[in-house]
Chain A
């Protein structure tokens, strides 16, 4: 009898242990780079060994441009900007921003297109941080993306404000969250409503053009979000995306015209630099966040309205060129986003951000016309230098300051941070730096000595010096990229150890375990869906074989195998959606059915199929509750669900593209249906809780109450999960029911040869768990942040409220793979009794159920432990942030959810507080 309390107590202990282990491990694994509270100051530069500006008003180096216009187009892919000759095949979305190409490739232009390479994670917030601080992002900030905190580190916006520049901002309100007190003027617009393609852009355009005629700013930032949102909702290859790009093209054309019209000497934009840039790219499905080439490759277009005199030496030119159809040469350069902050700071003549580890990019720097005269440096007599030499001298000096600043940061960081760089690495870096410094001192001495002779060695000497600095700076950024992400191995070890111990706590509880999992799923997360379906198919083939052997339930075995084959294909479609190269696109979430779009029969099927499935579900539920065991309150709960199903059918019917159906249902207020369904679901859950509390007096036996409760809670959850999942939801629910039924039936086939130790067959639980994993992938999810279906959060709601939308998103993500399978597990136990005719007491049943739950929990925990071990092993892997860390986060969230649900289930299914009743021997 003590078993009941023991089981409850047990599941809570497991939950607490898991949470503890995960917290500890996460603290060690998800990286925290120490943010230093130091800022660069104008006076610092006197400590550097470089030539300083003669004019003490200007700090660090002479400003090369007076005003700066930064237009950020969120999620601009490189192939949106670059000419289509750079790619294998011209796609519909290419060459739409034609004005940028026209400017960049016209004769004698002062504009250039860069391929900008971002550091993952490629979310807007992370990128804005990286762009302004010039540092590397750490993974933990991804979590903060929903509540953006102000940047605590030194950044170039801060430097602008410190040095008396006036900054104006419009567009994405993330900037305001990052820099709450920095802007002179700001026109922020909410960025989270993904469905809204136009509010932010129209607001930007409205304020941008008047501002271009004003004098009250030095730096203007306009952040457009339309392309990002169009990508999230419609994908890249879609009409809204092309319309957005065309709109941007017109807008940019106008901006350039306005700026050009005022660029005559003495005009407002005499020495203005225009930067049109993306913060990150996107995949063809409009996702971003990871580290794939499509996501990290974005673009920077730079145009100076004061023409620089000549071009820079070819040694510094990184551009790659292609001939277009007319035989015209088109070149684009490339730049690291890491270098952006320091290059822009150098152009504006402000101190470089303290924590920046980028280098001043020569090609972007050379576009600033002011970098071509040397009036700032007094030590040199510039009269006998050519223009190119003059620029090189200036650039070498900027690099000198740049290197000194980076070296200072590295020194301060390793002195003040607990986990610094290793001493060998520091020594190596110091050596490279000292070598560069000595060489420069030597060169300058030589040059100053021979200053009056026209020397031919000037150019090679400069380029050699630039090479020295480049080698130092690239050494530092390489070291930072590879080593910065420093893991706390001790905490990771403790977390992993606790996790393993938790496994061994469950282990004796169910005494014997044989599952397929322990050896499997070691492969990286991407293919997990395939592996799960492979294992599930294997178990089902084994079952089919034994059903052929026993010559019974052949139908169930074959239909189960068929179901798995269908699931397998949907998983593959989902994975191909994830694979960036795939062109498979369908705007609606019911991609399952959109396989052959275009054919009217297909669209008809795609619209009608889910509705029919919902009606079928309602019918099934009807039949279930009409059987005698359902009575009173529980019946009404299920009736509510049937109402919800009808509402879902109406809602989808009204949304469908079949005109007659839509017309028929248009009269009703369909907009409120999702909210009604959520409300009904909530009400039902409350009723279940109430019913559970007042269940004492019921004279039902345990089996009946268990069935009733399970059906009630499943039916309470299912409408919400189905509507949040979109039209695939009802089909997946049907698949879950069929799968569960087949597993139970096939399980009962094996009943005859049951052994004494186990009251159930672990194979069934394993199959159930594998089915849940398959459903996670079959519903179009995968373990990455771009695998979240953000659209689901906005079903029934248009505006963004953090908690509410987060809950909906969680329901969508974990509904079919965690909530329903865990809560529905008792059916597996109960139906066993229905089919197999063995009668046992209540406590036996309860113990069996507890064992099944523990088994289920153990399988999930084992999978997570394997993931944790993988993550630990692969912590230096290139893809750790792109692949392993998101997988870890998803698995861990799933485990905690599973544990919590098991606790809930142990409360709910324990059969009320009247545990002392004598076990009945019924029937």
Chain B
């Protein structure tokens, strides 16, 4: 235990900026969640569209709002504020968005997402949304430092509240999307079984659950920190 706390302290010394307070973490998650809720509300009430009827346009609305929210807010917590200005962090988040979308789209196609010209806009918009759940915040915060990426996305060993906040919701979104694909092959013939409607619902649910879980972790982490300090 002592070893671990010592290591953590060391790491914090290395990256002093990585610390994020518990209320801040809650606020970040709240705003991200609100971004999602507001975009859905706007889609339903202002434009009266939804995922089933106009999946591509709705998805576009959601990812634009969500990615803007996420990039703008996470860029404030970039790990290297000395070398990297706020604007630069925003720019690298924006640049990472299409790259992450490509990775997500390839994964989805390997898993059986339909290809074809009529599905192309849906797939593009969906993968941009997934990218803003997963890659964009990480890119804003970590930039190109490979060790962080590997630790969070390949090994799933986040440490520190900020890494929890990026890692858990991203994994939640991916796993939620994976489970969301389960109803697709059933022969219920419902419109929401179409690609990518139920996958999007699954991903959004997973993302929200991930944020709640990560808030829990951050809270627990903060309490432990406080106990240590005491």
Contact = CB atoms under 8 A, between A and B. Distances in A.
Interface of A: 523-524, 526-527, 530-531, 533-534, 537-538, 540-541, 545-546, 548-549, 561, 564-565, 568-569, 572
B185 A531 contact: yes
A540 B106 CA distance: 13
A535 to B, nearest CB: 9
A111 to B, nearest CB: 39
Nearest to B108: A537
Interface of B: 107, 109-112, 114-115, 150, 153-155, 178, 181, 185-187
Given A538-B178, A548-B150, A548-B154, A561 B185 contact: no
Contact of A541 (B110, B185, B187): B110
Nearest to A533: B112
A524 B109 CA distance: 22
Contacts of A561: 110
A540 B109 CA distance: 13
> Which of B107, B155, B185 has its CB near the most chain A CB atoms (within 10 A)?
B185
Nearest to A565: B110
Given A548-B150, A549-B155, A568 B110 contact: yes
Given A545-B153, A568-B110, 10 more contacts: A523-B185, A524-B187, A526-B187, A527-B185, A530-B185, A534-B181, A537-B111, A545-B154, A546-B154, A565-B110
B114 to A, nearest CB: 8
B132 to A, nearest CB: 21
Contacts, number: 40
Given A527-B185, A538-B178, A541-B107, A568 B112 contact: yes
Contacts of A565: 109-110
A527 B187 CA distance: 9
Nearest to A523: B185
A538 B111 contact: yes
Nearest to B114: A572
Contact of B110 (A527, A537, A549): A537
A569 B113 CA distance: 10
Nearest to B111: A537
22 contacts: A523-B185, A523-B187, A524-B186, A524-B187, A530-B185, A533-B112, A534-B181, A537-B110, A537-B111, A537-B112, A540-B110, A541-B111, A545-B154, A546-B154, A549-B150, A549-B154, A549-B155, A565-B109, A565-B110, A568-B110, A569-B115, A572-B114
Nearest to B151: A549
B154 A534 contact: no
A566 to B, nearest CB: 10
A649 to B, nearest CB: 32
Contacts of A531: 185
Nearest to A531: B185
A568 B150 CA distance: 28
Contacts of A568: 110, 112
Contacts of B153: 545
Contacts of B187: 523-524, 526-527
A330 B97 CA distance: 59
Contacts of B181: 534
A549 B115 CA distance: 30
A542 to B, nearest CB: 11
Nearest to B187: A524
A568 B106 CA distance: 13
Nearest to A548: B154
A421 to B, nearest CB: 30
A564 to B, nearest CB: 6
A538 B181 CA distance: 12
A416 to B, nearest CB: 39
Contacts of A572: 114
Interface centre among B112, B115, B155, B185 (most CB of A within 10 A): B112
Contacts of A530: 112, 185
A565 B112 CA distance: 8
A537 B109 CA distance: 10
Contacts of A538: 111, 178
Contacts of B150: 548-549
A564 B185 contact: no
A596 B153 CA distance: 39
Contacts of A564: 110
B123 to A, nearest CB: 14
A883 to B, nearest CB: 9
Contacts of B186: 523-524
A569 B112 CA distance: 8
Contacts of B109: 565
A568 B111 CA distance: 8
Contacts of B110: 537, 540-541, 561, 564-565, 568
A561 B107 CA distance: 9
Closest 6 CB pairs of A and B: A527-B185, A549-B154, A565-B110, A548-B154, A537-B111, A523-B185
B55 to A, nearest CB: 20
B72 to A, nearest CB: 30
A758 to B, nearest CB: 24
B182 to A, nearest CB: 9
Nearest to B107: A541
A533 to B, nearest CB: 6
Contacts of B154: 545-546, 548-549
Contacts of A524: 186-187
A538 B109 CA distance: 12
B109 to A, nearest CB: 7
A97 to B, nearest CB: 35
Contacts of A527: 185, 187
Nearest to B149: A548
Contacts of A526: 187
A545 B110 CA distance: 14
B170 to A, nearest CB: 13
A753 to B, nearest CB: 14
Nearest to A520: B182
Contacts of A533: 112
B112 A534 contact: yes
Nearest to A547: B154
A697 B153 CA distance: 55
Nearest to B155: A549
A451 to B, nearest CB: 57
A564 B111 CA distance: 9
A548 B153 CA distance: 10
A541 B155 CA distance: 13
A165 B195 CA distance: 61
B216 to A, nearest CB: 25
Nearest to A546: B154
A569 B110 CA distance: 9
A546 B155 CA distance: 8
A537 B111 CA distance: 5
A544 to B, nearest CB: 9
A749 to B, nearest CB: 14
A545 B150 CA distance: 10
Contacts of A549: 150, 154-155
A538 B175 CA distance: 11
A516 to B, nearest CB: 12
A572 B195 CA distance: 15
A546 B150 CA distance: 11
A569 B109 CA distance: 9
Contacts of B114: 572
B142 to A, nearest CB: 16
A524 B187 CA distance: 7
A595 to B, nearest CB: 12
Nearest to B115: A569
Contacts of A545: 153-154
A103 B150 CA distance: 76
A568 B185 CA distance: 14
Nearest to A522: B186
A863 to B, nearest CB: 15
A920 B114 CA distance: 53
A548 B181 CA distance: 25
Contacts of B155: 549
Nearest to B157: A549
A343 B178 CA distance: 56
